[in-house]
Each structure stands twice: as structure tokens, then as C-alpha cells.
């Protein structure tokens, strides 16, 4: 009996040792398809450990990082993307994903560095142009942001997300008429898109046009009545108009829809 057990153990050891890099890698991709991220991580780690110098490890690290992201192991995901980039400094998918994580973590300096690298590799990378423009706008480098949005829209003229961002940037940089004209174009093309009415409402509020702002935010709520954040904007405008009792009613609806409590409390305090 002992000989049989020993034989089985030896057979198992030989089977495991006989697994190749491709076996581990393919198992990892199969686990990814099944959303079995823990086993995917283990498989890609085994692939890399079995052949540390394999040229395909760029992709093994990218897949490993993706699986790590899914289980919220963000620090190791960043490390895995970085190792992929060390293997291939021009790895577009690794740079894009690492930049995305940096944006999520509000590590803007690292994100900008990666978007700059991406645009050196692919000058027409629309994703990188969009997010770099956002960073420039955030940092009040409006001319650089405008240049990136215009470059992006020359490549993708129907990218309405970029057009909306450009409209908001026009307002930030003092080009109010251009901002409103672009929003009007977007509304004509997509009259049921609540985002456009919210954007125009915020601009009108900042310009002191509260009556117009109320009309637009109410239209947005009509289009998407379950969006709690719209009610916060509505309440803010009502408070500006001195309609505090009505603002409280609106904020109660925001609470029902699960809005951020601190934001609601801040506005409720202004209703006193």
C-alpha cells in the first residue's frame, strides 16, 4: 500500500512539474473568462515564476494586474503593470491601466506622466488625450486642455463626452457664449440626455441666472428622476433664490434616493 501511495505522489509531482509556461498562462486566461480572479492570479504568477525571462510576460503581468484589480489588490496591480512596462516601455495597455488607477487614486502627477508617455507612443490615443485634457483643465492650464480636446475631436468629431467637457472648459476659461452654444448643439442632437441640462444649469447658476438654472435642473430631473445628485443641485439653486422650505423638501427626496449625507447636511444647514 505504501508503495502505491508513493507512486501516486511521484506521479502527481511529475504531472505538476511537466506543466509548461503555456499551460499556466492558458489556465490563467480561462480563469479570467470565468471571473475566477484568485485562481487567475495564481496561474499567471506560476507562469511568470516558471519562465521569468519569457517575452510574453508583458501580457502575463497585464493579465495578472487586471485580476488583482478585480479583487481590490490595487497596490500589487500597480506593481504588476509597472513590471509589464519595464519589460516593454511602449506597452500601451499597461500604461493606460496604470494611468487609470492613478486617476482613481487622485495621484494626478503619476497619471499625467503616463498619459504623456502614451501620447509620445500614440499621438492619436483618444483616451489619453481626454484624460490629459481633464488634468490640464483641473490645473487651470486651459490652453493645453483646449489643444487636447480639439485634437481629440478632430479624430473623433462625434465624441459627445469630449464635446461636453469642452463646453465646460469654455465656461471655465471665460468663453461663456461658446460654452452655451456647444451645449445647445448637444441638446439638439440628444434632447433626452439629462447631463447636458445639468451642465447648463450649473453654468447658469454660476452666472446668477437662477430662473434659467431652475428650468434646466427640473428638466434633468424629469428625464432622470432617480438621480439623487440632481436634487442637490436643485436645492442649491432654490437656496440661492431664498426658497428654503422648498429646498428642504427637495433635500428630503435626495435623502430617499441615497445621496451623500454630508452633502445633504451641508445644504440643510443653509436652509435655516
Calculate mean pLDDT across residues 250-258: 92
pTM exceeding the 0.95 threshold for the entire prediction? no
Which ranges constitute the DSSP H helices of the chain? 2-18, 21-33, 37-50, 57-70, 74-87, 92-104, 108-121, 126-138, 142-155, 160-172, 176-189, 194-206, 210-223, 228-240, 244-256, 261-269
CATH ID of 20-122, from 3.40.50.300, 1.25.40.10, 3.40.50.12780, 2.60.40.10: 1.25.40.10
Superfamily of domain 214-272: Tetratricopeptide repeat domain (1.25.40.10)
Span 110-147, pLDDT tens digits: 999 999 999 999 999 999 999 999 999 999 999 999 99
Q: What is the largest CA-CA distance in the chain?
A: 89
Do the domains spanning 20-122 and 214-272 agree at the CATH topology level? yes
- Cα separation of the two ends of the chain: 84
Confidence of residue 261 (pLDDT cuts 50, 70, 90): confident
Span 212-251, pLDDT tens digits: 999 999 999 999 999 999 999 999 999 999 999 999 999 9
Sign of CA dihedral 151, 157, 163, 167: positive
Residue 159's nearest CA partner among 122, 133, 121 is 133
Q: What pLDDT score does 18 carry?
A: 63
Query: For residue 242, what is the DSSP state?
Result: T
The domain spans of the chain are 20-122, 214-272
Amino acid at each position: 500500500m505504501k508503495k502505491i501511495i508513493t507512486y501516486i505522489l511521484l506521479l502527481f509531482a511529475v504531472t505538476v512539474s511537466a506543466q509548461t509556461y503555456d499551460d499556466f498562462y492558458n489556465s490563467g486566461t480561462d480563469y479570467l473568462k470565468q471571473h475566477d480572479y484568485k485562481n487567475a492570479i495564481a496561474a499567471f504568477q506560476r507562469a511568470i515564476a516558471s519562465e521569468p525571462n519569457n517575452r510574453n510576460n508583458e501580457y502575463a503581468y497585464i493579465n495578472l494586474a487586471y485580476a488583482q484589480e478585480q479583487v481590490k489588490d490595487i497596490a500589487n496591480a500597480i506593481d504588476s503593470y509597472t513590471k509589464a512596462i519595464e519589460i516593454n516601455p511602449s506597452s500601451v495597455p499597461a500604461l493606460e491601466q496604470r494611468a487609470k488607477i492613478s486617476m482613481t487614486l487622485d495621484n494626478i502627477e503619476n497619471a499625467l506622466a503616463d498619459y504623456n508617455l502614451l501620447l509620445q507612443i500614440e499621438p492619436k490615443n483618444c483616451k489619453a488625450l481626454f484624460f490629459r485634457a481633464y488634468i490640464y483643465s483641473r490645473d487651470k492650464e486651459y490652453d493645453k486642455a483646449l489643444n487636447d480636446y480639439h485634437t481629440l475631436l478632430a479624430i473623433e468629431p462625434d465624441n459627445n463626452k469630449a464635446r461636453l467637457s469642452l463646453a465646460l472648459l469654455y465656461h471655465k476659461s471665460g468663453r461663456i457664449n461658446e460654452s452655451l452654444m456647444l451645449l445647445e448643439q448637444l441638446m439638439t442632437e440628444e434632447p433626452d440626455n439629462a447631463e447636458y441640462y445639468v451642465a447648463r444649469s450649473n453654468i447658469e447658476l454660476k452666472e446668477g441666472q437662477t430662473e434659467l438654472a431652475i428650468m434646466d435642473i427640473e428638466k434633468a430631473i424629469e428625464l432622470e428622476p432617480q438621480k439623487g445628485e440632481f436634487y442637490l443641485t436643485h436645492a442649491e439653486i432654490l437656496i440661492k433664490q431664498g426658497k428654503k422650505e422648498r429646498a428642504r423638501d427637495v433635500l428630503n427626496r435626495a435623502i430617499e434616493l441615497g445621496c451623500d449625507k454630508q452633502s445633504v447636511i451641508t445644504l440643510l444647514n443653509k436652509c435655516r
